[in-house]
Amino acid sequence: MHTPVDLKAPIFIAGHRGMVGSSIWHELEQRGAGQLIGATHAELELRDTNAVEKFFAEHKPTYVVLAAAKVGGIQANINAPADFLYDNLAIQNSIYAAALKHGVKKILFLGTSCIYPRECPQPMKEEYLLTGPLEPTNEGYALAKIAGIKLAEYMYKQHGLQSVCPMPPNLYGPNDNFDPKNSHVLAALVRKFVTAVDAKADVETMWGSGTARREFMHVDDVARIAVDLFNEHETPEIINIGPGIDSSIKELAELVAKLTGYTGPLHWDTTKPDGMPRKCLDVSRMRKLGLGPTITLEDGIKEMITYFRKKQLDELART
């Protein structure tokens, strides 16, 4: 018999200060969660199995949201594939080991559309997982997430530990990372265009040909849908979440340019990799459950531009 999540019970959000974790924290608060637990990196090293086990012994969470991960754009993934594989495996393994030992009822495991094969039929259905080679530029990260999905599946099969595994597309929103070395594409474009407009200069050269296609989802939509699934489901089959609509990187750049007021030229460096040619999720299962995003890409980008400008002003005020 299905039992909804008890919002009064202790819920540990791993990665509560990150983009996804902070949005899920807010969503759970809005729904009346009474005992949310977070820990900064300084307070808890999630890769350390012993430290995580002690944390669970002390705080005794009933539920866990696993939103912590080492993430980054193409360049970061190319530069440090071992880190993306090892760190994410270590985080997942530590959380699941402690959860099993301390009687956690259910884990919300946030995945990624990177798990699907590079030459995956489009849009990507859940059953296409492990049907072909991965995109080389983010293989380390994808392998770790696939291992996490399988760990969730096997923990349920062998031990009865419940997990819910939503797979979102490219994410953006408040608390996004704008660092030029490891930001994701939408945050990187917002930074580039706002900086160019403010400096009355041409925008920096952009990676790739602009032809690669990506699907984007606001993190607040992810949080709302993920919490709905967390409440309603208890088996670890993956479920794609997203708008089910993609855009080329060129189209995205042109939209960001328009919304920032940039009117200069766009330069593309075709010697740089595009990554996977297309990533668009089949969200039929999500739609059948009556779920779906509500924030349009244009509205979300407008919010991102405002957020980035405020972040710049806050940083100036601190210096």
pLDDT at 87: 98
How far apart (Å, rounded) are the C-alpha atoms in residues 56 and 103?
Answer: 10
Amino acid at 309: R
Task: Classify residue 139 as exposed, middle or buried by CB count within 10 Å of its CB (0-12, 13-18, 19+).
Answer: middle
Whether residue 316 has pLDDT greater than 90: no
* Cα atoms found within 13 Å of the Cα of residue 137, Cβ hemisphere only: 13
Least confident of 44-48, 70-74, 268-272: 70-74
Q: Read off the pLDDT of residues 188-226 as tens digits, 9 standing for 90 and up.
A: 999 999 999 999 999 989 989 999 999 999 999 999 999
Looking at every residue in the chain, the average pLDDT score rounds to: 95
pLDDT at 1: 53
Q: Read off the pLDDT of residues 174-186 as tens digits, 9 standing for 90 and up.
A: 899 898 777 788 9
Q: Read off the pLDDT of residues 78-111 as tens digits, 9 standing for 90 and up.
A: 899 999 999 999 999 999 999 999 999 999 999 9
At residue 249 the predicted structure's pLDDT band, cuts being 50, 70 and 90, is very high
Q: Which two tokens stand for residue 108?
A: 């919300």
Residue holding tokens 């002003």? 313
Q: Taking the alpha carbons of 278, 283, 284, 285 in that order, is the dihedral positive or negative? A: positive
Phi first, then psi: give them for residue 140, nearest 5 degrees.
Answer: -60, -50
Amino acid at 141: Y
Query: Whats the size of the chain, residue-wise?
Result: 319
Please provide the DSSP assignment of the chain as one string: ------TTSEEEEETTTSHHHHHHHHHHHHTT--EEE---TTT--TT-HHHHHHHHHHH--SEEEE-------HHHHHH-HHHHHHHHHHHHHHHHHHHHHTT--EEEE---GGGS-TT--SSBPGGGTTSSPPPGGGHHHHHHHHHHHHHHHHHHHHH--EEEEEE--EEESTT----TTT--HHHHHHHHHHHHHHHTSPPPPEES-S--EE-EEEHHHHHHHHHHHHHH--S--EEE-S-S--EEHHHHHHHHHHHHT--S---EETTS---SSEE-B--HHHHHTT----S-HHHHHHHHHHHHHHHHHHHHHH-
Buried b (16+ CB within 10 A) or exposed e, 17-47: ebbbbbbbbebbeeeebebbbbbeeeebbbb
Which residues belong to the active site? 141
Q: Read off the pLDDT of residues 265-282 as tens digits, 9 standing for 90 and up.
A: 999 999 998 888 899 999
At residue 315 the predicted structure's pLDDT band, cuts being 50, 70 and 90, is confident
Q: What are the structural domains, with CATH classification, of the chain?
A: 10-172+216-240 (3.40.50.720), 185-212+246-279+296-313 (3.90.25.10)
